[in-house]
Amino acid sequence: MPNSELMNKIQEVGAVLVVRAETQEEALEGVRAVVAGGLKAVEVTFTVPGAPGVIREIKRVMGDQVLLGAGTVLHPEDAEDAVDAGAQYLIAPNTDEKVIGMAKRLKVAVFPGAYTPTEVVRAWDLGADAVKIFPASVGGPAYIKALRGPLPHIPFIPTGGVDEHNVGEFLKAGAFAVGAGGSLFDAKKLKARDWNGLTETARRFMAAVRNARMNGKG
């Protein structure tokens, strides 16, 4: 789909699941569980063993049910592998001109990571479609609100420390969407194969997103 349509859909969902797992099975089954809870945007990080294979399998099984991206994309080669596997967008914790350039050549959206105003503007000027504010836990929603003051034209995706209790405040502060990992993709639940627990956590998280928006918070 066109990047503009993808961006609209991610904003509509309001959150992207950050997938970190020790095995491909944990990643695949965990994603199934979270998607069942209503979170339809998924970022498979390159810290997951065999990440391109996981992306490919999610694409095969879930197809258009999910907005499928790749995360922790640190090298242009990773970007190529991710898109070849079916990733529709690329996310990184840092800003790398070569990765952004590769995303542009591959015609997929890219959300590089930045934190300070200088870093955010550089990422945007290099061609970011949105900027991942990481780690968002350092400054919290107040920092997002402060950044939005001089940079209202840049979509922010705060990531790190976002959970069902504060997601509404991040959206109220002006976040385009949020990235959420550990609070949704809990390592203990993955180890215990507690798929129902992951689904319920996702349902509560997405209910918090909807509640925030109904109350004018994002």
DSSP string, 120-171: HHHHHHTT-SSEEETTTTTTHHHHHHHHHTT-TTS-EEEBSS--TTTHHHHH
Q: Which of 40, 132, 189, 217 is catalytic?
A: 132
Q: What's the CA gap between 102 and 107, in Å, rounded?
A: 8
Could you tell me the domains of the chain? 3-109+163-169+177-214 (3.20.20.70)
Strands 109-111 vs 131-133: parallel, antiparallel or unpaired: unpaired
Average pLDDT score over residue span 143-162: 98
CA-based angle 23:184:85, to the nearest 5?
A: 45
Residue 189, number of CB atoms within 10 A of its CB: 20
pLDDT, residue 214, reads 87
Q: Is the pLDDT of residue 73 over 60?
A: yes
pLDDT, residue 217, reads 57
pLDDT tens figures, 189-209: 999 999 999 999 999 999 999
pLDDT tens figures, 31-70: 999 999 999 999 999 999 999 999 999 999 999 999 999 9
Strand order in the sheet with 131-133: 113-114, 131-133, 156-158
pLDDT tens figures, 82-129: 999 999 999 999 999 999 999 999 999 999 999 999 999 999 999 999
pLDDT, residue 218, reads 58
Q: Is the pLDDT of residue 216 over 80?
A: no
SS3 state of residue 101: helix
pLDDT, residue 148, reads 98
188 part of the active site: no
Q: How confident is the model at residue 213 (pLDDT cuts 50, 70, 90)?
A: confident
Q: Which of 43, 57, 164, 169 is catalytic?
A: 43
Average pLDDT, the chain: 97
132 part of the active site: yes
179: left (phi over 0), alpha (psi -120 to 50) or beta: beta
Q: Which stretches within 37-139 are classed as H helix?
A: 51-62, 76-85, 97-106, 117-125
Q: Output the pTM of the full model.
A: 0.96
